[in-house]
Amino acid sequence: MNCKMRKNIPILYIVVPCYNEQEVLPITSPLFQQKIVQLIGDGKIAEESRVLFVNDGSKDTTWELIQSLSAANVYIEGINLSRNRGHQNAVLAGLMEAKDLCDITISIDCDGQDDINAMDAMVDAYLDGCEVVYGVRSKRDTDTFFKRFTAEGFYKLLNWMGAEVVFNHADYRLVSSRVLEEFANFKEVNLFLRGMIPLVGFKSTAVYYERHERIAGESHYPLMKMLALAFDGITSLSVKPIRMITGLGASIAGLSMIGVIWAVIAHFTGHSVAGWASMISIVCFLGGIQLASLGIIGEYIGKIYMETKRRPRYIISERTAERADDGKGDGQGGK
Ligand code: UDP
Ligand code: MG
């Protein structure tokens, strides 16, 4: 890499969204903390670095756990969202909370699936001058065939539909505060972070790691939720589906012209029979296409509706750390 080396040792915040993770947290939180201590020891990050857990309105004892972990350990902090807002909003809340306190953030799931040791290479890439470092899964051997198939199909579908995402990259990534400062101006409520961060630009690179199995508990992303996320990602990042409708409309109109010519010729040559079967098929086919197209356009209108409300994307109800300036829980990405 031909980027210039950085002079100062950066403060790192590891941002970890947690939803009903009481079985997983006691296992993974020491790992995050050890990672911070090791990186400080290696002289790569500053002593003020922290792990920031974001409790996404868990229904179990996750928040109590985070509070006790933070009371017992200087390297651990937590924020509590006022209710469950979903993975993407939870990550955003953590990133926006951290951006004014540190130089770099690394977001990672709390279930131990993403290899914590990839963080060393991520920080190295930052020290080499990169502002965004994507964690990319090199293998998915431990995922079931079904999960792997659906997950990889998900990335292909997204890219094909015009939402550019890094293949096999989820939300394990290093982002510098400089990028987050710019990202705070992306005010949309339909969040799809992995597709939005590349839009900010700046120098980026990827770090490869192997994905493990979930340490405990269950995935919150069953097939339906993953399909919903893919659909959300596509409609938030691209208008290709609407263009496809236009294309489809134009092709069907073209075909209809042939049909019209054929009908006119049949009429004048005296072959016009009452073909109700073909008529019914065409009517049903077109009716189906029209409804599906309306649905897709409706999805975009729904998105516009949600955006115009400009509701807060998250509300922070509690913090483990006392801060002088407490006016940042507006969910609008800080001021
Ligand atoms: N998560 C969250 N809010 C939710 C659902 C999930 O903060 O509403 C967190 C969860 O605790 C985990 C991460 O998002 O740290 C990813 O979730 P999960 O491991 O269930 O997804 P998968 O890895 O199976 O795609
Ligand atoms: Mg997981």
Strands 169-176 and 132-139: antiparallel
The count of other CB atoms within 10 Å of the CB of residue 49 is 24
* The pLDDT value given to residue 82: 94
Say how many Å lie between the first and final Cα of the chain, rounded: 34
Which residues are registered as beta bridge partners of 137? 209
Quote the pTM value.
0.76
Task: Calculate how far, in angstroms, residue 219's C-alpha sits from the geometric centre of ligand 1.
Answer: 7
- The enclosing H or E element of 132 equals strand 132-139
pLDDT of residue 273: 67
**Per-residue pLDDT, 327:** 44
Per-position pLDDT tens, the chain of length 335 = 444 567 788 999 999 999 999 989 999 999 999 999 999 999 999 999 999 999 999 999 999 999 999 999 999 999 999 999 989 999 999 999 999 999 999 999 988 888 899 999 999 999 999 999 999 888 766 667 777 777 778 788 878 877 778 777 888 999 999 999 999 999 888 888 988 898 888 999 998 888 777 766 777 767 777 778 777 888 887 777 877 888 888 888 788 778 778 878 887 887 766 676 777 777 777 777 787 778 788 878 888 888 888 888 999 999 998 765 544 444 444 33
- Of all ligands present, the nearest one to the C-alpha of 22 is 1
Task: Write b or e for each residue in 83-94: b if 16 or more Cβ atoms lie within 10 A of its Cβ, otherwise e.
Answer: eebbbbbbbbbb
Contacts of 105 (CB under 8 A, 6+ apart): 12, 13, 14, 15, 94, 95, 98, 99, 174, 175, 176, 177, 180
Q: Which of 51, 109, 114, 221 to mutate to test the pocket of ligand 1 (most atoms within 8 A of CB)?
A: 109
In this structure, the residues whose C-beta lies within 6 A of any atom of ligand 1 are: 17-19, 21, 56, 84, 86-87, 90, 109-111, 113, 219-221
Place of tokens 């994905």: 211
Are 86 and 137 contacting, i.e. CB atoms less than 8 angstroms apart? Answer: no
Say what the pLDDT of residue 141 is. 65
Q: Residue 318 Cα, ligand 2 centroid: separation in angstroms?
A: 25
Rounded to the nearest angstrom, the distance between the alpha carbon of 242 and the centre of ligand 2 is 32
Residue-level pLDDT at 307: 83
**pLDDT for residue 333:** 41
Altogether, the residues listed in the chain come to a count of 335
Using CA positions, which residue lies closest to atom 23 of ligand 1?
219
